Amino acid sequence: MLKIENLNVQLEKTDIHILRDINLQVNKGELFGIAGESGSGKSVLAKTILGLIKYPLIKKSGKIFFKDKELKSDKDFNEIRGKKISMIFQNPTASLNPVLTIGEQLIETIKLHKKCDEKTARKIAINLLRKVEIDFPEERLKSYPFNLSGGMNQRVMIALSLASDPEVLIADEPTTALDVTTQTKIINLLLKLKEEKGLTIIFISHDLSLLEMITDKILIMYAGETMELITKSDLQDGKIKHPYTYALKKSVPDIEHKEEYLYSIPGTIEQNSKSYDNACIFYKRCDRKREICTKQKPQFKNNLKCFNPLISYC
């Protein structure tokens, strides 16, 4: 469905890589997770897929394919963005237009995609609001985003993203701004829509425990590089190979056991500059580093980028 080959995004006029040598493939109907600490490049990757990055970020090289067609020009990206591939963002209230009603925003979007009249678009809008489980949809069309809760606005965002009947939905931290109960409801809604509509979903989150529950595969990113592609079952069974994935998993608090302190990965994420052309980007924070890690860049092979992997930690 979606394939990326050797993608490199840099900060213009610097040697800083925001994305370095990314390769991935998302299959039809998959729920594909992308995880990593803040600043690991998850959102830039999503925006690059949609052709949305702007100066000072620049795509230096790499290929992006949607259903075997390479997306090269602005026209190619315009044809799929918001149509074949939709996106929902972290903060729904900020993503909606505050001075337009939910109805105005939905109806305009539907008219644009379906080339239909106002009356038909209104009917579709009401159905979409029902689909995302918003009560009294006719009434809600008259509401402004500030009249609704964060969870309701995220449902409206999902309705907007479905208006074009997309095949792929990119959800970038869609529940981070919501309380846990609302988070669960929104995730269950996305899972239901995925089944009903056969959607392919790319779900971006820094919450590995959430991804472990809902996704089929998870791509672990660090400082703009892919570290490991792990299946949900391998992650759950502790069959982790990369020390960074292990450290990320260890950072998730265990609610079953009271802990003296919460684990966090020592050090901070570094900029992926020229000095890492010949070194593993994670070596300074890695407790399994060897000399080779400081002198040579590991290649992403067999879903792993590491010279000294763990086989299993359980």
Ligand X SMILES: Nc1ncnc2c1ncn2[C@@H]1O[C@H](COP(=O)(O)OP(=O)(O)OP(=O)(O)O)[C@@H](O)[C@H]1O
Q: Is residue 38 a contact residue for ligand X (CB under 6 A)?
A: yes
133: left (phi over 0), alpha (psi -120 to 50) or beta: left
- Name the β-bridge partners of 63: 5
CA pair distance 50, 86, nearest whole angstrom: 9
Q: Lay out the site mask for ligand X across 200-219 (x = CB under 6 A, - = otherwise).
A: ------x-------------
For residue 301 the two structure tokens come to: 């092979």
Q: Which stretch binds ligand X (CB under 6 A): 33-41, 112-120, 258-266, 274-282?
A: 33-41
CB distance 140 to 134 below 8 Å = yes
Sites for ligand X among residues 139-198 (CB under 6 A)? none
Closest distance of CB 219 from ligand X, Å: 12
Closest distance of CB 174 from ligand X, Å: 12
Question: Which residue in 10, 40, 154, 175 binds ligand X (CB under 6 A)?
Answer: 40
54 versus 75: smaller Cβ distance to ligand X? 54
CB distance 220 to 230 below 8 Å = yes
Q: Is residue 36 a contact residue for ligand X (CB under 6 A)?
A: yes
**Residue 261 identity:** Y
Q: Number of residues in contact with ligand X, rule: CB under 6 A?
A: 13
Closest distance of CB 39 from ligand X, Å: 4
33 versus 103: smaller Cβ distance to ligand X? 33
167 versus 172: smaller Cβ distance to ligand X? 172
Q: Is residue 33 a contact residue for ligand X (CB under 6 A)?
A: no
Question: Which residue in 4, 18, 31, 126 binds ligand X (CB under 6 A)?
Answer: 18
CB distance 26 to 201 below 8 Å = no
Q: Is residue 87 a contact residue for ligand X (CB under 6 A)?
A: no
User: Quick check: bond before 56 cis, omega within 30?
Assistant: yes
Residue 126 contacts by C-beta under 8 Å, 6 or more apart in sequence? 137, 138, 141
58 versus 310: smaller Cβ distance to ligand X? 58
Question: Which residue in 6, 12, 28, 56 binds ligand X (CB under 6 A)?
Answer: 56
Among candidates 116, 102, 88, which has minimal Cα distance to 178? Answer: 88
Q: How many CB atoms lie within 10 A of CB 277?
A: 11
Q: Is residue 57 a contact residue for ligand X (CB under 6 A)?
A: yes
Q: Strands 85-88 and 17-26: what pairing? A: unpaired
Footprint of ligand X on this chain (CB under 6 A)?
11, 18, 36, 38-44, 56-57, 206
